[in-house]
Amino acid sequence: MKLIGKPANRRPAPLNPDTDAIRALAGLLAETGLSEIEYAVGDHRIRIARESAGKTMTAPNGHAPAAVPPAVDGGLPVPAANGAAPPGTLSSPMVGIAYLAPEPGAEPFVRVGDVVAQGQPLLIIEAMKVMNQIRAPQAGRIARIFVADAAPVEYGAPLMLIE
C-alpha cells in the first residue's frame, strides 16, 4: 500500500507568530469594544479574546458604545424551524460598530415602521476606522431593529428585519 501525503516522520512547521498582526488585532479589540476576533490566512489562525472590564469606550467619531448592546425592539429574531434567520433579516456583513445615525445627535437613518427602498442607507458599520454604509437589500418595511446605536456587532449578527 502506498501512502500519499506527508511522511510520518515529518514535523509540522514551527509557528512563527506575526507579532505586528497580533498587536493590530488586539488594538482593534480595544478600539471596537469587541470581546474576541479571529483572523485566518490559509491554515494559520490567530484568535484574540479578552474579558470585558465593563469600561465605556469612546469611538473615534464620538459615539460611545454600550457595554452590553441592548436590543432596540424585542431581542433577536425567532429562528425558523430549520434554525435559519427569518426571511428579510439583514445580517451584518462584517465585524465592527453599528451606528444607526449618520453622525452623533442626528436623526437615525430609519425607524421601526419606516418603508425603505432597495439600496437605501439603513445604518453604518465602522470597521478599522472606515465607515461602511449598509444599504437595504430589498424594498420593504422595517419591522424590527436588533442593534442599539454604537453597539459592537459580529459577522452574521442580525441587524434589522425588513418585511
Give the closest residue to 139 by CA, choosing from 116, 110, 122: 116
What pLDDT, in 10s, does the model give residues 5-53?
A: 555 555 555 556 667 777 777 777 777 667 777 777 776 677 777 654 4
Taking a C-beta distance cutoff of 8 angstroms, is the pair 139, 21 a contact?
no
pTM beyond 0.75? no
pLDDT recorded at residue 100:
95
pLDDT recorded at residue 58:
46
Taking a C-beta distance cutoff of 8 angstroms, is the pair 119, 136 a contact?
yes
Q: Which residues pair with 84 in a beta bridge?
A: none
Give the closest residue to 31 by CA, choosing from 126, 104, 102, 101: 126
Report domain extents, the chain: 1-55, 64-163
pLDDT recorded at residue 145:
93
Helix (H, G, I), strand (E, B) or coil at 52: coil
What pLDDT, in 10s, does the model give residues 62-115?
A: 554 443 333 344 455 544 445 566 788 999 999 999 999 999 889 999 999 999
pLDDT recorded at residue 72:
45
What pLDDT, in 10s, does the model give residues 117-150?
A: 999 999 999 999 899 999 999 999 999 999 999 9
Taking a C-beta distance cutoff of 8 angstroms, is the pair 124, 133 a contact?
yes
pLDDT recorded at residue 66:
41
CATH architecture of the region 64-163: Beta Barrel (2.40)
pLDDT recorded at residue 24:
77
